[in-house]
Structure 1
Amino acid sequence: MSNISIIGTGDMARTIGARATAGGNTVEIMGRDQSKAADLAKALGGGATTGEWGTAPAGDIVIVALLHDGVVPVIARYGDALAGKVIVDISNPFNSTFDGLAHREETSIAQAKASVEAFIESLGMRPLDVGGLKMAHWLEGAGVVTVGLANHGVGNLNFALSITELPV
């Protein structure tokens, strides 16, 4: 199992934290609002703890569960405290109208491809490798499609896109 720190206290932090604790991982929650972080850690159970905002995360894997525009300032604040850790940024780089990405096609918010396969599996999920770093841009675009479906097709965020393997 993995030792995970989650920076953020919103819905994604709660969802990932719940799956992580259920998968037997050690979870630390960190947030600007210490009481929100403590409440989330308590709600998660499974021995989840609260880390102090701005101090070095205890986890070997650090999940940044923040809005896209808040990621860079927080990473800069933590600085060297993140050295040697696997950083997973789950933010979606949407533009201000949520109908496209905030960057050009040639770029992506992904900086490196790290092996978090065992952690993903401990969440009860199946990791899928879609290729090299260039594919990150297109995966981010899938987030735009998801928001479009939530706003115009499905009408809410209570759905999932999935992969179904067909028999050969």
Structure 2
Amino acid sequence: MIKELLNKLFGNKKASPAMTQSETISHKENNTMTTYTIFGRGNMGTAIAGVLTKGGATVEHIGSADSDIATINGDVVILAVPYPAVESIIASHKDALAGKTVIDITNPLNFETFDSLVVPVGSSATAEIQAQLPTSRVLKAFNTNFAATLATGKVGDITTTVLVAGDDEDAKNALITDVNAGGLDALDAGSLKRAHELEAVGFLQLTLAGSEKIGWTGGFGLVK
């Protein structure tokens, strides 16, 4: 079940030759919106890129084989990788990430027990990342969405909503604007502290999907 879960979220990176190099996608000419660097070319990274490029943004992918050596060109960096991979990315790119907006999409599950999170009680993966990157603007987003609902823009009959938490209002508003431009709803979920609650929601959603109580095209929808 754990292997299937990881494949559903991030895809089989070893099977994708594109993961051995950086790739730049630009869907619109003369784009004036933010440029993004996404670590990860699996299902989530690809789906997020689809939303952002649909809205006019430029997206650069960095695959797993290049994650320690690639150059980060984007104004905003998205960590679309399993939580254990984040430590290596930060270690390799800490200086390059300084001053940038860093978006954490991870749900820090204990994949041995599948029954707990691996961050300190009361904390979150996002808070731990912010502590390691004190000059970066770290946001939590996309962790309560499945790739399929980002790609289709729907959870059932409801428009997919991306919940965004963080302490920098400008960074949150910029991401919300780009997500809206890509056809999805986005909502400011509050300060960085709310990443703790968002990860609890993401954890619950993953355990429901992993136990086949909901499908990977389902999930939680927000009615406003």
Same fold (TM over 0.5): yes
The answer as to whether partners of 2:36 and 2:77 remain within 8 angstroms in 1 is yes
Secondary structure, aligned partner of 1:127: strand
Matches within 5 A, 1:23-102: 23-33=55-65, 54-96=69-111, 97-102=113-118
The answer as to whether partners of 1:100 and 1:141 remain within 8 angstroms in 2 is no
Displacement of 1:68: 0.4
**Corresponding position of 2:36:** 4
Query: What is the root-mean-square deviation of aligned Cα atoms in Å?
Result: 2.0
The percentage of counterpart residues that share the same residue type is: 34
| 1:13 and 2:45 correspond | yes
Distance 1:155 1:138 in 2: 20
The answer as to whether partners of 1:5 and 1:27 remain within 8 angstroms in 2 is yes
Distance 2:87 2:40 in 1: 14
| 1:134 and 2:193 correspond | yes
Residue from 160, 163, 166 that aligns with 2:219: 160
Displacement of 1:33: 3.4
The answer as to whether partners of 1:98 and 1:147 remain within 8 angstroms in 2 is no
Displacement of 1:70: 0.7
What is the letter of the counterpart of residue 73 of structure 2?
A
**Corresponding position of 1:150:** 209
Q: Extract unaligned runs of 5+ from structure 1.
A: 35-51
Structure ranking higher in strand proportion: 2
Q: How many residues of Structure 1 are paired with residues of Structure 2 in the alignment?
A: 148
TM normalised by structure 2 equals 0.60
**Which moved further from structure 2: 117-126 or 24-33?**
117-126
